[in-house]
Amino acid sequence: MSGIETLGVVGGGFMGTGIAESAARAGLSVVIYEPEQAPLDRSQASLEKSIGRAVSRGKLSDQEGSDMLNRVAWTRSLDDFDGVDGVVEAIIEDAKAKGSIFKKLDALLPDATFLASNTSSIPIAEIAAWTQRPDRVIGIHFFSPVPVMSLVEIVRAIDTSDETLAAAGAFAATMGKHPVHTADRAGFIVNMLLVPYLMSAIRMYEDGFATAEDIDEGMKRGCGHPMGPLQLADFIGLDVMYAIGESLYEEFKRPDFAPPPILKRLVVSGHFGRKSGRGFYEYPPAKVPAAA
């Protein structure tokens, strides 16, 4: 057993809501925190829609769907985390923003089993340094969409204790996820391999070597990938891609991690991919995820 019965989730965006959904499906009670009401409303609407879809497809009974939704609460106050057994943070890829949250959580929750970050690229030790108890800080990196993807990366920082590591692994298993363990280096396992590939595809497009469609079709039909690299970048979010690339380049100073100029131009123009309706491709408004 993980010892986690009530989970706090910081961030009600696409990832945070997905983490909450998976935890609630596993029978855990969940409290989702956002400082503003609008993202909480989007999170609740997204979760209700997802559960409703599962019920309509026969994957959940009406009662199971109702019980699952009743296990989730939304709040604008971190004080409502009082009594949670563990926390997963899923906010923007910004070390200072995450560190500030962890400092507050550390003071508020002296008895929490772990304080985990869902970061995809920021070193866990950098986040843990904001706390007085770095032994219980760990990385639990979920993949999108969380209810579908079975993998989690568990990232042990320098000061993470054996007890915290064991609890995080048991928590992942409780949620039906397959944990892989990785050293605390920016990018961990998956993004260390994936990001150079995606950045290479973006540079290829930027240089006019081929169209976005042909780059993606080449990798789908030539390598059997379910999604081409530019489609995948749009799906991940170009703002997230840029932040991950910056973090990896800052850590390793390798040019294959550096975001190409066109990626920065798209991000500063508000073209984040699917969630904004435009990235390397354009997406009809109906396909933009409400909780992204």
> Any catalytic annotation for residue 153?
yes
User: What phi and psi, each to the nearest 5 degrees, are found at residue 2?
Assistant: -80, -20
Bridge partners of 189, per DSSP, are none
Instruction: Pick the catalytic residue from 34, 93, 126, 153.
Output: 153
| Whether 135 contacts 112, CB under 8 Å | no
- Cα–Cα distance measured from residue 98 to residue 106, given in angstroms and rounded to the nearest whole number: 12
> Any catalytic annotation for residue 34?
no
Instruction: Pick the catalytic residue from 50, 141, 246, 247.
Output: 141
> Any catalytic annotation for residue 282?
no
> Any catalytic annotation for residue 141?
yes
Q: What residues contact 8, with CB distance under 8 A and at least 6 apart?
A: 30, 31, 33, 81, 84, 86, 87, 88, 105, 109, 112
Q: Give the number of other CB atoms < 10 A from CB of residue 123.
A: 24
Amino acid in the structure at residue 221: R
CA-CA distances (angstroms) from residue 162 to 123, 156, 203, 207? 18, 9, 42, 48
Q: Number of helices (H) and strands (E), helices first, in the chain?
A: 11, 8
Instruction: Pick the catalytic residue from 29, 117, 120, 247.
Output: 120
- Cα–Cα distance measured from residue 180 to residue 94, given in angstroms and rounded to the nearest whole number: 24
Instruction: Pick the catalytic residue from 50, 191, 247, 276.
Output: 191
Picking from 127, 129, 96, 133, the residue whose alpha carbon sits closest to that of residue 114 is 133
Question: Which active-site residues does the annotation give?
Answer: 120, 141, 153, 191
